[in-house]
Amino acid sequence: MRIVDDAALAAHLVTEAAALAARMRDEGLDVSRKTSVSDLVTDADKAAEAFVVETLQRERPDDGLLGEEGTAEEGRSGRRWVIDPVDGTYNFAHRLHHWCSALALQDGEDVVLGAVAHHADQRVLVGGPDLPTTSNGEVLPRLEDRELGQVGAATYLHPGWVGEDAVRTPWLRAATGPATLRTFGSGSMEMVDVALGRLGLWYQHSTPAWDWLPGCALLLGVGGSATSVEVDGYRWYVAGRPSAVGGAVDLLAGS
């Protein structure tokens, strides 16, 4: 089946992209800022994205491409690959372990699959709504449903948004629901932790496609729920165990 071929290709791409980035870091990185001291890009991000793009142009020439580091190509097939060559660049550049290479495939607006390679753990996850999520080839168990108050949540609110009441207020409402909160600095890695059953929820606002779709697909592949809701002009993205997601959405919306 084509989806299996796509999954194998995605697993290969994120594995090699993460390995390339790690090798370049060991050799010394050129690091620059995007928008702030915490919003970084390295030459490894760019090289890893170039590797993924070049491979997809050869293997899937009719598909569209969208990458965090500037790739934007329209395709003819109706499908699009969404690329995050290094998710958690601040962690990566500072030799923290919570970073990964991530990739998702869309067909129209629907996510088909996601793939994440956590280089530090030598773990590769692949899955989607019609593709049970695997970790290094082993099918993960389906998530047991739990209420929001019974689970830990991963989330993040950048210091620059703390003074924005329309963002801070719903974030704080949702933060009162889970049993505990964790912030690790990589949206895809945080959703991996939810897919592995270590946490029960992930939520964040204004999330770009490359930070949302790979982990979203993995969670759908273990029976999780993923949705978004607009509150006071900002869109919030929420994924995890279904009942926890419902509870978080209600709190975000002030219901």
Q: What pLDDT band is residue 219 in, cutting at 50, 70 and 90?
A: very high
pLDDT of 175-194, one tens digit each? Answer: 999 999 999 999 999 999 99
Phi, psi of 31 (to 5 degrees): -115, 135
Mean pLDDT within 153-160: 96
pLDDT at position 1 is 45
Coil, strand, or helix at residue 106? strand
pLDDT above 90 for 229: yes
Average pLDDT across the chain, whole number = 95
H helix runs in the chain, sequence order:
2-27, 43-59, 89-93, 165-175, 187-195, 209-220, 242-253
Share of the chain above pLDDT 90, in %: 90
**What are the tokens at 230?**
């607009």
Q: Under a CB-based contact definition with an 8 Å cutoff, are residues 121 and 222 in contact?
A: no
Question: Which domains does the chain carry?
Answer: 1-139 (3.30.540.10), 148-253 (3.40.190.80)
Q: At what angle do helices 165-175 and 242-253 cross, to 10 degrees?
A: 140
pLDDT above 80 for 39: no
Q: What pLDDT band is residue 41 in, cutting at 50, 70 and 90?
A: confident
Mean pLDDT within 52-81: 97
pLDDT at position 38 is 63
Q: What pLDDT band is residue 206 in, cutting at 50, 70 and 90?
A: very high
Q: What pLDDT band is residue 32 in, cutting at 50, 70 and 90?
A: confident
pLDDT above 50 for 207: yes
Mean pLDDT within 5-34: 91
pLDDT at position 30 is 77
Q: pTM here?
A: 0.94
pLDDT at position 42 is 86
